[in-house]
Amino acid sequence: MKLLLCLLMNISAESGARLIQVAAEYDGQRIDNFLLRTLKGVPKSRVYRILRKGEVRVNRGRIRPDYRLHAGDLVRIPPVRLSVADNERHPPQPLLERVREAILLEDREVLVLNKPAGITVHKGSGVDFGVIEALRALRPEAPFLELAHRLDRETSGCLVLAKTPAALQAVHTALRAHTAAKHYLALVRGHWNQGTWEVTAPLRKNVLRGGERLVQVVEGGGRPARTCFKPISLFRQAALLKVEIATGRTHQIRVHAAHIGYPIAGDDKYGDPAFNREMARYGLRRLFLHAHSLTVPLGGREIAVSAPLDETLREVLERLETES
């Protein structure tokens, strides 16, 4: 075996390829995520291209992008050129400070952030840096750090990142099995007199409207989605709701809220422009949707975290309360 490994490494060195033996902490990680982590700075499209073409081999065989690694696997990575610019780029200091100050909990398995509104969870679509890039810059010694789920750019609140492949898989399993509880706070238009309201309208992603890609309710053709709205505070022209989701579709809460006639304040994609202008008078300059709390079972224990509303959202509620 040692002779074979030396031979393989020599072949890899001569061809410019890399041969990496998978360490125990990466057991269970998907090969695409492993490559994205290993080949920092390489565009995601390039990583998936070498996977599709079979240039990446595991134990000398071709694999699919969703293949999960095992400790001891031998991964052959073809030569991939990194530009100097890609290697030298670094998240700006103000972003690093905002992310550092937003950390709510961190242990050996997970890191939970009170993600500020306006920051994406990862780079892409014209955005150079997101939460994950900032945290990897803040934790350069961490062997593993991955997003366990996602939040929209304009949504604030609890965001979980996994520090081990096992933790990542545990969070994913809990989300799929609905054993994780996610609660949001949303300010919506109008006087709410519905009590608790469960919405199950199916959703379809990437529906074009005027050249813009949206998520829409599509009866009989969308993916199942379930959102439960419960009133917390009622104001003269708005209501603060507690929202629980049993599925994690893109823009689910925003689309379901608009679908039942109670669009979320500050939503410039699915909301009511006139209501948004009215809420701007109360100081609201962003989407009023906040991932308030999260409970996740994790390896025999339970992670329970709550993220407070930021000062801007608290002041909006105080002004609405004063006028009601």
Q: How far is CA 133 from CA 165, 295, 310, 323, in A?
A: 18, 25, 23, 42
Phi/psi zone of residue 28: left (φ > 0), alpha (ψ -120 to 50 degrees), beta? left
Nearest to 184 by CA among 117, 260, 133, 126: 117
152 is catalytic: yes
Residue 258 φ/ψ, nearest 5 degrees: -65, -35
**CB 162 within 8 Å of CB 146:** yes
Given 152, 267, 268, 272, the catalytic residue? 152
Q: Maximum CA pair distance of the chain?
A: 79
- Output the six-digit token pair for 210: 């005027």
**148 and 161 in contact (C-beta within 8 Å)?**
yes
Strand partners, 112: 105, 160
List Cα–Cα distances, 257 to 118, 165, 185, in angstroms: 21, 35, 12
Handedness of CA 28, 32, 38, 41 (dihedral sign): negative
At residue 81, what is the residue type? R
Which residues form the catalytic set? 152
